[in-house]
Structure formats: C-alpha cells, structure tokens
Amino acid sequence: MKVTITGATGFIGQKLARRLLDSNAIVAADGSRQSITELTLHDTVPAPDALTDDSRVRSLSGDITDSALLAEAIPGDTDSVFHLAAIVSAGAEEDFELGMAVNLDATRNILEILRHADGTPKMIFASSCAAFGGDIPNIVEDMTATTPTTSYGTQKAIGELLVSDYSRRGFVDGRSLRFPTVVVRPGKPNKAASTFASSIFREPLQGQRAVCPVAPDAKMWLASPRSIVENTLHAHNLAANAWGASRTVSLPGFSLTVAEMAKALETVAGPAVAGRIDWEPDPFIEKIVRGWPPAFNTKKAAALGFTQDEGMEAVIRAFIEDELNGKIAA
C-alpha cells in the first residue's frame, strides 16, 4: 500500500510514521491487512534521517498550499492519506489568510486529488475539539452541533463537512477525528493556544521554568500522544460501514482543570518541579481556551473500539519514559 502523511515532521506525524513503519501492515479498502510499500512524508521541512533511512520512505518538503507539490505527494495510486498538517489555533487567529489557505484550501485540494485517484482512497483528517465553542453544554455529545468561536475551529468544522460529503458521494473513504489537546508534546512551544498545556510539564521536568497563561480553574479536554497515534491508526483500520451516517468522531480524552494538571505533576515529580510553573495571565490565550468545550461524552468512539488514557499521572510518566529517558531534572 502507498500511504501519505501531511504534517509529517510534527511530533504526531513522526510518531505515526514510525508506528506505521514498525507495524508494516494496515487495513486496505477490501478489509485485508497489507504491507506498506511506500510512505510519503510531506511537510515544510524534510523528514528526519531516523525515518528516511527506511527504503520505503519518500520525503517531500515544501508549502502544502503548493498544488503541484501536493499532487506529487499524493500520486494517483495512493491508498491512504493521513492529513495532519495545520496552522494551529492562535496562529490561525493571528493570520487569517494563512489559516484559510492551509487549514481549509489545502484540505479541499487533498480531497480533490483523492477524488480523481484510483479506487476510493482512505483519508484520515485531523480535526479538533476547537470545532466547538461559545454557548455549548458542559459535556459535548456526539450529535452536538459544531459552534466554533475561532477561525481555526471554523476551518476544522468545514473540513469535517467536506470529508463527510466527499465520502457520501463515494469519492473518498474519509474519517474525521476530533483531537483533544495533546499532552505532553516534546520539543518546543508552538503557536497553538494550548501549547502551555505541554510546557507546564515539559519544561519543569527538564529543570526549566514554564509560564501558564490561564487561570488555575480553566478546564481542558486532554489526551496523550500514545493514545492519539493508536486511535488514528485504529480509525484508519475500521471498516467503512462501521462509521454510520457521520464520518466524524470525537476521540476519547479526560477532563482536568489546569490546577489539577499541576497537582498531577507534583504527585509524579514532587513540589520542587511543580513549583517551576509561573502563573502569568494572558487574556488572548485565556479567551481562546475558555471557548473550548471542557468535556465530551465519547460514546461513539467507545462503541467503535477507540482507547482512552488512564489519566494525567500515567501520561506524565509515559512522557518521562518516552522523551526524557526516564530522568527528571532535580
């Protein structure tokens, strides 16, 4: 099978790529498990050597808004596309044109490329809980109407509708996954409004201070990188008829206040580490974060067999194991 990942050098993209290469088999359109013969990794920068050393990997770097390059990344015999590339929340809010070009126009371009490809390719679209906002119930149900209050959330909600309609018409076999806020992200902070949710763990665990720009009582819907990667692969491997009328699912997560997140850090790593969090309010970030739903009832995801994290303390320990070689800075 030939598979493409957009946004492939992001941390989820790299982890998904490694998971696909290690498994070497995913479910094809006919339900059979088939080996991956080519994995194209597309992003603004080349894929790392740790991935390109595999002879099955093809790395393409450039702007996802470049239609010719996108067509090169998704040749006509592509079987599956994992579309992870995006301009994240605060970035899309600050630069409307760029957010529309990457988050909406590129998504439709991918759907059009797949529409004219051989057969009915699968498309896994990384959506977001930011598709909801404003005056919504405390717990979002599977059938709650999307009411985004940011440009990013609007672009993701439109993407979900496009994926569903292209699937309804038989152009693609699409699946849209509403990601919770993913913690703990390795690397450095990005332009996501939620980037602090990883920083308040990542930096203190490495002996550095971190700024929390929201009040302690702000509540967030969270999931770990491990569960996101496994659930993304699970979504791909589900049979098309398992999805029902809607091709969208809110992925499982867990709901915590930022104060509870900090308490979990203290439980795992001690008060000295948790004391490296500086509470400095930022009204711009606070407004975005408080506009997101704090909790979801992921009944559909559970019925489809998606997995859920054990909780924040387990997620922190997994980050220490996966990214810090099991070591916490004193």
SS3 3: strand
Q: What is the CATH number of the domain that holds 134?
A: 3.40.50.720
Check residue 275 and report its DSSP letter. Answer: T
pLDDT per residue as tens digits for the range 190-232 = 777 889 999 999 999 999 999 999 999 999 999 999 999 999 9
Please tell me the total count of domains within the chain: 1
Q: Is the pLDDT of residue 153 over 80?
A: yes
pLDDT value of residue 188: 84
Q: Is the pLDDT of residue 134 over 90?
A: no
Q: Provide the residue range defining the domain that includes 153.
A: 2-180+225-250
Cis bond before residue 184 (omega within 30° of 0): yes
Q: Is the pLDDT of residue 19 over 80?
A: yes
Please report whether residue 319 resides in a domain.
no
Check 82, 125, 152, 243 and give the catalytic one: 152
SS3 40: strand
Angle between the N-to-C axes of helices 258-269 and 312-323, in degrees from 0 to 180, rounded to the nearest 10: 60
Average pLDDT rounded to a whole number, residues 29-46: 96
Q: Is the pLDDT of residue 138 over 90?
A: no
Torsion 196-186-231-17 (CA) sign: positive
pLDDT per residue as tens digits for the range 71-122 = 999 999 999 999 999 998 888 999 999 999 999 999 999 999 999 999 999 9
pLDDT value of residue 210: 96
SS3 173: strand
pLDDT value of residue 217: 96
Please report whether residue 147 resides in a domain.
yes
Question: What are the phi and psi torsion angles at 26 (to 5°)?
Answer: -135, 170
Average pLDDT rounded to a whole number, residues 297-309: 96
Distance CA 191, CA 90 (A): 6
Average pLDDT rounded to a whole number, residues 307-316: 96
Strands (E), 69-120: 80-83
For residue 120, give the nearest of 30, 42, 220 by alpha carbon.
30
pLDDT per residue as tens digits for the range 218-274 = 999 999 999 999 999 999 999 999 998 899 999 999 999 999 999 999 999 999 999
Average pLDDT rounded to a whole number, residues 321-330: 92
Please report whether residue 195 resides in a domain.
no
Strand pairing category for 26-27 and 33-34 = antiparallel
pLDDT value of residue 167: 97
Query: Strand pairing partners for 246?
Result: none
pLDDT value of residue 291: 86
Please report whether residue 303 resides in a domain.
no
Which segment of 112-121, 161-170, 252-261, 289-298 scores lowest on mean pLDDT? 289-298
Cα 54–56–62 angle (5° rounding)? 90
Active site residue 166: no
